[in-house]
Copies of this chain bind each other. A is one copy, B any other.
């Protein structure tokens, strides 16, 4: 196990009654609130009205930014920043999925600086100050509800980049599984794949002697797999939605990989795909991950074998370690297919036209990955395997 530091002070309010006392939670930080939402679905499911209703008998003044898009755009972020500056906003309340919350974190950063927000994503500056924010989650996927990460896309330059700071952790996040009941099945599935992908990035490591962390990773993976099947059959299954929602948070709140080196190459590669083609992040991960696994397998066959046996119950009695590991990777791909996700770039109508550009962009800040360092050429090979 490696040395580590851990602190995560986000308050999680989970369950059917988690919206209660919303105004009290907000008023700890001020009363001028920017409410941000994405598509019209928060209105359709009645959540928008419930939130407004919760706040109406309080001294809270609400300003709004609606229509933040999936793979949130820099332009929306800049709009939000302007509202904050113009009205001296105290607190941002993001109601939506990962994109809406990530955009809110970006707005929170930009609202208290005169610097160009995109320069933070270009790593010219680090986050030293931010408005406080809270989240009401409507999609189990990114884990942004309990971490300090934000991913934003600049559609002008076709770049999808991230920033991270403890200052960007939501002060509170409200997780009501009922708010995910009407998420369309494809987005539900992509969310589940995103959750699994976050675990993969932290599980497949070269760090030895992290048995508790590994077992917790396997717990999140198995619970996500079991409950993905359930939710496909019955989208309004409260417990299945609750289990997936909690897996999503646990997958990226820092706990599962303490004392381990993480990887994150596959996310970096996928970001290049969805920066150019507007595909769902989860779909991109389903395409990239099995190919990444095969490409890096020989860097640590043990961990891939452990994955095959503990997550997919592969019987390894007559197999070499490598054969067992390969079976686990194969099962992963089969699972993605079975639940209806794409597993090749061709499945989402992407050809080889931009692979070189993607590889180059993925390595723009240097080699990527932890288990195996990947240069531009390695990344290109993985992308070609994914065609």
Which residue in B11, B211, B239, B243 is a CB contact (below 8 Å) of A5? B11
Contacting pair A220 B212 (CB below 8 A): yes
What residue of chain B has the Cβ atom nearest to residue A177's Cβ? Answer: B1
From B3, B14, B246, B250, A14 is in contact (CB under 8 Å) with B3
User: In the complex, which residues of chain B have a beta carbon less than 8 angstroms from the beta carbon of A2?
Assistant: 15
1/0 per residue, CB under 8 A from B, across A10-44: the answer is 11111111100000000000000000000000000
Q: Chain B residues near A223 (CB, 8 Å)?
A: 211-212, 215
Cβ of A4 within 8 Å of any chain B Cβ, yes or no, is: yes
Say yes or no: A14-B258 contact (C-beta < 8 A), given A239-B209, A243-B1. yes
Q: Chain B contacts of A5 at CB under 8 A? A: 11-14
- Shortest C-beta distance, A231 to chain B (Å), equals 13
Contact with B along A203-244 (1 / 0, CB 8 A): 000001101100110111011001100000000000100110
When A219-B215, A246-B212 are in contact, do A7 and B12 touch as well, CB less than 8 Å?
yes
* A9 part of interface (Cβ distance < 8 Å): yes
Chain B residues within 8 Å of A370, by CB: none
How distant is the Cα of A6 from the Cα of B227 in the complex, in angstroms?
Answer: 23
Contacts of A222 in B (CB 8 A): 211, 215
Tell me which of B3, B6, B216, B259 contacts A219 (CB under 8 A).
Answer: B216
Please determine whether A243 and B12 come into contact, CB atoms closer than 8 angstroms: no
Q: Which residues of chain A from 248 to 286 have any CB-CB distance to chain B below 8 Å in the complex?
A: 250, 255, 258-259
> Which of chain B's residues have a CB closer than 8 A to the CB of A226?
211
Tell me if A380 counts as interface (CB < 8 A to partner B): no
Does A341 make an interface contact (CB < 8 A)? no
Q: Once the chains bind, are B9 and A7 in contact (CB under 8 Å)?
A: yes
Q: Which residues of B contact A103 (CB under 8 A)?
A: none
Determine if B4 and A14 form an interchain contact, defined as CB atoms under 8 angstroms apart: yes
- Asked whether A247 is an interface residue with its Cβ less than 8 Å from the other chain, the reply is yes
Interface centre among A7, A13, A259 (most CB of B within 10 A): A7
A363 to nearest B CB, angstroms?
Answer: 31
Nearest-Cβ distance from residue A195 to partner chain B, whole angstroms: 11
CA distance A10 to B242 in the complex (A): 26
* Pick from B12, B208, B209, B212: contact of A250, CB under 8 Å: B212
Question: Inside 8 A of A11's CB, which chain B residues have their CB?
Answer: 5-7
Minimum C-beta distance from A173 to chain B (A): 10
| Shortest beta-carbon contacts, A-B, top 6 | A3-B15, A215-B219, A9-B9, A7-B11, A209-B239, A212-B223
Known contacts A3-B18, A215-B219, A255-B255, then 8 further A-B pairs from the complex at CB < 8 Å, ordered by chain A residue: A4-B15, A5-B12, A7-B9, A7-B12, A14-B258, A211-B223, A212-B219, A212-B250
